[in-house]
Amino acid sequence: MRKARVVKLDRGYPLVRCEDGPLVRCEHATALVKGDELRAVVGDFVEVDVPRGHDKGIIERILPRTRAFVRKDPAERALPQVLAANFDRVFVAQPLADVNVRRLERELVLAYETGAQVTVVLTKADLAEDERHVAEVRDRVRALAGPDVRTLVVSADDPSGVEEVRALIPEGSVAVLLGKSGVGKSSLVNMLVGADVQETTPVREDGKGRHTTVSREMVPVPGGGFVVDMPGVRGLGMWEADAGIGAAFSDVEKLAANCRFRDCRHADEPGCAVRAAVEAGELAPERFASYRVLKQETADLRERREEARRMRGEKASDRKKSAARSGRTRKGGSKRRRG
């Protein structure tokens, strides 16, 4: 049995790099597929058997994950989908000239929920109107992400921004690049590597990019660690995201601590400090609305999960085992790490 790490995932067959060097295309052991229904994802450490005369290796075991990027499976009502594992940082990429604030809030929640360090990268700054436009967008995003989160600006004609990103992927580390299709993730990877290792497509006439990446892959950064260029993630359904919401909306949570009632829903309860802040102009109504939507979505999903578990007759111990397999349990809960 060999120890290995999944470095690429496409068409359902993981490509792993064994500790002793070789790359092996693998399939999952029947016990994984039919038993716990586990699948290896990019970044996973695994144990692989390579039988003689077999054209693929067999992943016999997926080792415990230290961290995982999890969203609600868009094809299922109440099941998690793990997209990447065992990484140190999440780069949230948004195009500077077309920042989607609502999506950015959701991306930040999911990034925080992993417990990894979080950084926002504003791409395609060369498409901005002028330097004043760049500064305005950067300041607006910094205000949204919080003062402790670095917000970097990357442009095709300014290597300094790329160097700032590269410095955050030191040797031995792994970073995940999150963003929807067309935001310039593949171009950023190529700039980090210094070569066209990822296929890109020309920007459309409306300034928006096209979907390019179709597989998840750990790409080595010269002089540094690895960056995982994931396909554009459209659906960003929450999954056990209370801690992530608390980190992404720490200003709202701080206000909520001053509400008269501990279980205040910030709807029509008397003494609600959050609504008072909105009425006083201290909290943007749009931000409050996003917070409530995400909290309600998480609560609804939790209720559906519990109902599904009751119908399956699942015990509390089974839930803990499931969480441990997906890499969702950490001592002390979800740890907020910014940078």
Asked whether the beta carbons of 18 and 3 are under 8 A apart, the reply is yes
Which pLDDT does position 198 carry in this prediction? 65
Element (H, E) at 114: none
Dihedral sign, Cα of residue 58, residue 61, residue 66, residue 70 = positive
What single string gives the DSSP state of each residue in 231-297?
PP------SS-HHHHHHHTHHHHHHHTTSSSTT--SSS-TT-HHHHHHHTTSS-HHHHHHHHHHHHH
Asked whether the beta carbons of 240 and 113 are under 8 A apart, the reply is yes
How far from 166 is each of 85, 187, 218, 275, CA to CA, in Å?
Answer: 20, 14, 15, 41
Which pLDDT does position 75 carry in this prediction? 52
Bridge partners for 158 per DSSP: 155
Q: How far is CA 169 from the centre of its chain?
A: 16
Which pLDDT does position 111 carry in this prediction? 87
Which pLDDT does position 324 carry in this prediction? 54
Within a 10 A sphere around the Cβ of 240, how many other Cβ atoms? Answer: 18
pLDDT in 10s for each residue of the chain, 339 residues: 899 999 998 777 899 999 988 899 999 988 887 755 678 999 999 999 988 878 889 999 999 999 998 875 555 555 677 889 999 999 999 998 888 888 888 888 888 888 899 999 999 888 877 888 889 998 888 877 876 688 999 988 888 999 999 999 999 999 999 888 788 888 899 999 988 776 655 544 444 544 444 578 899 999 999 999 876 555 555 556 677 788 788 889 899 999 999 889 898 899 999 999 999 999 888 888 888 888 888 877 777 777 776 776 766 555 555 555 555 544 434 444 446
Q: What angle do CA 125, 126, 131 make, to 5 degrees?
A: 70
Q: CA–CA separation, 229 vs 209, rounded Å?
A: 15
